[in-house]
Amino acid sequence: MRVGLISDTHGLLRPEALDFLAGCDRIVHGGDIGNPAILERLAAIAPLTVVRGNNDREAWARSIPISATLSFGPVVLHAIHDIKELDIAPAAAGVRVVVSGHSHKPSCVERGGVLYINPGSAGRRRFSLPISAAELIVDGQSVRPRIVTLVEA
């Protein structure tokens, strides 16, 4: 199963992001969406799970949850916009992957059996950070992450 990860679009859904996400079995958006049209376009590609970011304050975003938990067979994924607001102990809760956004900085690190991945920002460039997205290839209990730069500097 290929799970596409995108975050911090801030109202800009780049064609490079759409190309990268094509063929995904599921998409997770880590918040700071920017407008509901982005959700419609992503949901047309694959089933979509979304969490609300700190900039998603308009009426259309009020029903979007702060966090979401999904299962891909034995692999449990928990998504939240700002990792500093994580209010569970992932390993104790049986979570294998935590997806976050907010910092715009792509990162992937495994700690205590939990993979923490931030796909970075796929929207407008912030500072000198890359424009990026990520994917998880889930095969049984195996999870293989990959972060991809969508737009070169």
Per-residue pLDDT tens digits for 78-129 = 999 999 999 999 999 999 999 999 999 999 999 999 999 999 999 988 888 9
* pLDDT over threshold 80, residue 144: yes
Q: What is the mean pLDDT of the chain?
A: 96
Per-residue pLDDT, 91: 97
CATH number of the domain within which 51 lies: 3.60.21.10
* pLDDT over threshold 70, residue 136: yes
Range of the domain at 30: 2-151
CB distance 47 to 72 below 8 Å: no
- Total of domains in the chain: 1
Per-residue pLDDT, 152: 81
In the chain, which ranges are E strands? 2-6, 26-29, 48-50, 67-72, 75-80, 97-99, 107-111, 114-118, 131-139, 142-151
Place 153 in a pLDDT band, splitting at 50, 70 and 90.
low
Residues 6+ apart with CB under 8 A from 142: none
Q: What are phi and psi of 42, to 5 degrees?
A: -70, -40
Return the amino acid letter for 57: R
Q: Is the dihedral of CA 54, 127, 107, 121 positive or negative?
A: positive
List, for residues 30-67, the tens digit of each pLDDT value. Answer: 999 999 999 999 999 999 999 999 999 999 999 999 99
Checking 38-47 for CB contacts under 8 A at 24+ apart, the result is: 38/9, 38/11, 38/13, 41/13, 42/6, 42/13, 45/4, 45/18, 45/21, 46/4, 46/21
Per-residue pLDDT, 88: 95
